[in-house]
């Protein structure tokens, strides 16, 4: 069965389930997107990796990565292979150099691990045809603009702070494992950096 490579388009708040998030996966060479509803802890773990934040202590998915590295086990790929009654089923394809083992996993966990191992994510044409949605150009642009991490920028909250103060606050938030606030501060720093680049050009 032909595998279709996916990439992570982003995360957004779920419009259907309170306290949940929609993980948006997109096919690498096509226009279809797959929205997958995931829980807040898994969304946070994915967002932390996407944002490049470094927790002071390893989260569960980081622990899995460290454990695998310690025993020379690689995560070769993640496969989203089944869709049943709205639930996506995934597997981890692990390799120790001589054996290849497939391990059942929740899709949210599988994606969080794929980010950490930097391995590809695949699905099938059957799943894309069932769950994939196609957006026209304008809608795609709006979608990309609206896709956010679990935390959203809070410009007013940090508008009076200097970049030095923001960086100090960012380090404190990471140390305290307050990743939601850390993500907000990181967004504010990036927003200012973009503004500075535009003003210089």
DSSP, res 30? S
- Read off the pLDDT of residues 127-145 as tens digits, 9 standing for 90 and up: 999 898 886 544 444 444 3
Q: What is the pTM of this model?
A: 0.69
Residue 168 is predicted with a pLDDT of: 84
Reported CATH class of domain 3-146: alpha beta
Helix H or strand E encompassing 22:
strand 20-27
Give start-end residues of each CATH 3.10.690.10 domain in the chain.
3-146
Residue 20 and residue 40: Cα distance in Å, rounded? 6
- Read off the pLDDT of residues 7-34 as tens digits, 9 standing for 90 and up: 999 888 776 677 788 899 999 988 899 9
């Amino acid at each position: 069965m032909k595998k279709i490579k996916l990439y992570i388009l982003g995360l957004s708040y779920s419009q259907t389930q309170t306290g949940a998030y929609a993980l948006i996966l997109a096919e690498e060479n096509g226009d279809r997107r797959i929205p997958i509803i995931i829980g807040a802890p898994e969304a946070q773990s994915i967002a932390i990796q996407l944002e490049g934040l470094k927790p002071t202590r390893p989260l569960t998915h980081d622990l899995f990565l460290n454990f695998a590295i310690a025993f020379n086990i690689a995560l070769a790929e993640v496969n989203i292979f089944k869709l049943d009654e709205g639930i996506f089923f995934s597997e981890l394809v692990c390799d120790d150099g001589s054996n290849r083992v497939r391990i059942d996993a929740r899709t949210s966990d599988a994606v969080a691990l794929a980010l950490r191992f930097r391995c590809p994510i695949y699905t099938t044409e059957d799943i894309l045809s069932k769950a994939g949605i196609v957006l026209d150009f304008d809608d795609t642009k709006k979608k990309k603009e609206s896709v956010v991490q679990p935390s959203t920028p809070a410009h007013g909250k940090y508008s009076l702070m200097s970049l030095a103060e923001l960086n100090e606050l960012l380090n404190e938030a990471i140390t305290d494992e307050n990743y939601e606030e850390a993500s907000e501060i990181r967004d504010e720093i990036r927003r200012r950096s973009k503004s500075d680049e535009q003003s210089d050009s």
